[in-house]
Amino acid sequence: MTDKQLIENLDQRGLLMQASAQDELNEHLAGQCRTVYCGFDPTADSLHIGSLVPLLALRRFQLAGHRPIALAGGATGMIGDPSFKAKERKLNSLEVTAQWTEKIRAQLSRFIDFDCGENAALVVNNLDWTADKGMLTFLRDIGKHFSVNAMIQKESVKQRLEREGEGISYTEFSYMILQAYDFAMLNQMHDCTLQIGGSDQWGNITAGIDLTRRLNQQQVFGLTLPLVTKADGGKFGKTEEGTIWLDPARTSTYTFYQFWINTADADVYKFLKYFTFLNIEEIAAIEEADKNAQGRPQAQGILAREVTRLVHGEDGLAAAQRISNALFSGDISSLTEEDFGQLKQDGMPSSAIEAGTLVEALVATGLAQSNKMAREFIANGAVSVNGVKIADPGASLNWNDAFYGRYFLLKRGKKLFHLAYCQ
């Protein structure tokens, strides 16, 4: 049984940007299980939280009774999507792309259910139907359906065509044809009738709708989700340390959790709608409660908890919370030796260092990028060791002063911690 309210629910959450033939789409989804797909290109060996909105949307469709297909872009990843990109990108080698595709494919699998009968999910790789396609066949059978006149009208490539100092290669320009072909193929193979994606994908999606109509004489649909923006105009998903990845080997569960904890008030309720499965009423209640209470709102905590659990599971969440509690609310000196061992294991940033000056330790742990910066941090009163602020740039670390003779908890700034331990 499918949920007839799906589109309406998405709309209420602010997740509906554009949809083709929305009334017909609504009807199309209402009665029965439909197949919906979303593509993810391997631009790194892990997805990052920018992909979370479409990824969770696939799951929303599945929960509503539809069948999701997550597509790993083994082929498209070799070409590079130019949509709204200011610059031409460097191509990655085939081996690298293949490796990344495999990793991405594994990650995608964690968000959708493969074992639920009629609407069990599928993960596919578009290289499977692209690799053997001969060039001439491709140009004759597929290329013939595309008008360059229409292609250059697409908003997604316009700036590249018009902007002074930039251009677009034929390779990247062909990207939308490849993606369109994916849609047509999935329609043929799996009766896929809906493609979703970020709003930057609208041009590629409509190209796919057109091609499917011409190639298969099928009406299919497209729907886009908002790209996540922050109220302060900053880039979503980046911190000083870099991108927030879904792979815990790249971004620890602790760092991941902290990222969400630090969400600005102006964004947090929107993010609850985007990134959690709490229903609209619950989210409204949280917002209302926060408004009436003074001090720190609870929304960030809920957001962090929900998203961390979604991406890293109960264990990952527990680990992240253990570290966070120890660092931000607990008394550090009350931690036992086992606690320190646990923090290390939980994925708290940590490294082995030699005894030496504090400056050296800050650089060795990455808390400062250079001796000069380290000194400046210390002089500014930004550094503390085991909970004690150190303001002397000449200070040194002696293992006799360490917790249990082997742990130094270094802190730079208000919320950046690092556990340094004796080898």
Partner RNA sequence: GGAGGGGUUCCCGAGUGGUCAAAGGGAUCAGACUGUAAAUCUGACGCGCAAGCUUCGGUGGUUCAAAUCCACCCCCCUCCA
Among 16-24, 95-103, 190-198, 373-381, the segment contacting RNA (CB under 7 A): 373-381
> What CA dihedral angle connects 330, 334, 340 and 346, to 10 degrees?
-30
Can you tell me the distance from the alpha carbon of 370 to that of 216, in angstroms, rounded to the nearest whole number? 60
CB of 117 to RNA, least distance (A): 41
Can you tell me the distance from the alpha carbon of 275 to that of 51, in angstroms, rounded to the nearest whole number? 11
Can you tell me the distance from the alpha carbon of 372 to that of 365, in angstroms, rounded to the nearest whole number? 15
For RNA (CB under 7 A), the number of binding residues is 40
CB of 235 to RNA, least distance (A): 7
Does 380 sit near RNA (CB under 7 A)?
yes
CB of 223 to RNA, least distance (A): 31
Contacts (Cβ under 8 Å, ≥6 apart) of 247: 45, 46, 47, 103, 107
Does 371 sit near RNA (CB under 7 A)?
yes
Backbone angles phi, psi at 43, to 5 degrees: -100, 0
Among 36-44, 125-133, 259-267, 339-347, the segment contacting RNA (CB under 7 A): 259-267
The three-state secondary structure class of 407 is: strand
Which residue among 114, 141, 372, 396 contacts RNA (CB under 7 A)? 372
Q: x-or-dash pattern for RNA, window 59-88, by CB under 7 A?
A: -----------------------------x
Does 407 sit near RNA (CB under 7 A)?
no
25, 19 contact by CB (below 8 A): yes
Nearest Cα to Cα of residue 190 among 120, 132, 106, 140: 120
CB of 415 to RNA, least distance (A): 4
Does 330 sit near RNA (CB under 7 A)?
no
Can you tell me the distance from the alpha carbon of 329 to that of 27, in angstroms, rounded to the nearest whole number? 51
Name the residue nearer to RNA (CB basis): 50 or 297. Answer: 297
Does 392 sit near RNA (CB under 7 A)?
no
Does 314 sit near RNA (CB under 7 A)?
no
Identify the helix (H) or strand (E) that includes residue 411: strand 407-412
Contacts (Cβ under 8 Å, ≥6 apart) of 150: none
Does 158 sit near RNA (CB under 7 A)?
no
Among 15-23, 67-75, 292-300, 308-316, the segment contacting RNA (CB under 7 A): 292-300
Contacts (Cβ under 8 Å, ≥6 apart) of 331: 387
Which residue among 8, 24, 265, 354 contacts RNA (CB under 7 A)? 265
E strand spans, 41-81: 67-72
Does 21 sit near RNA (CB under 7 A)?
no
CB of 238 to RNA, least distance (A): 8
Does 151 sit near RNA (CB under 7 A)?
no
Does 110 sit near RNA (CB under 7 A)?
no
Does 300 sit near RNA (CB under 7 A)?
yes
Contacts (Cβ under 8 Å, ≥6 apart) of 272: 278, 283, 286, 299, 302, 303, 306
Name the residue nearer to RNA (CB basis): 32 or 396. Answer: 396
Q: x-or-dash pattern for RNA, window 198-237, by CB under 7 A?
A: ----------------------------------xxx---
DSSP string, 295-331: SS-SHHHHHHHHHHHHHHHHHHHHHHHHHHIIIIIS-
Does 377 sit near RNA (CB under 7 A)?
yes
Does 261 sit near RNA (CB under 7 A)?
yes
Can you tell me the distance from the alpha carbon of 87 to that of 12, in angstroms, rounded to the nearest whole number? 35
Can you tell me the distance from the alpha carbon of 104 to that of 258, in angstroms, rounded to the nearest whole number? 24
Among 135-143, 190-198, 219-227, 293-301, the segment contacting RNA (CB under 7 A): 293-301
Can you tell me the distance from the alpha carbon of 267 to that of 300, in angstroms, rounded to the nearest whole number? 10
- Token pair 């005894």 in the structure block, residue: 355
Does 387 sit near RNA (CB under 7 A)?
no
CB of 265 to RNA, least distance (A): 5
Which residue among 90, 295, 392, 400 contacts RNA (CB under 7 A)? 295
Residue 66 has which token pair? 């539809």
Which residue among 376, 395, 404, 422 contacts RNA (CB under 7 A)? 376
Does 328 sit near RNA (CB under 7 A)?
yes
Contact residues for RNA, defined by CB under 7 A: 88, 161, 164-168, 232-234, 239-240, 258, 261-262, 264-266, 295-297, 300, 324, 328, 369-373, 375-377, 380-382, 412-416
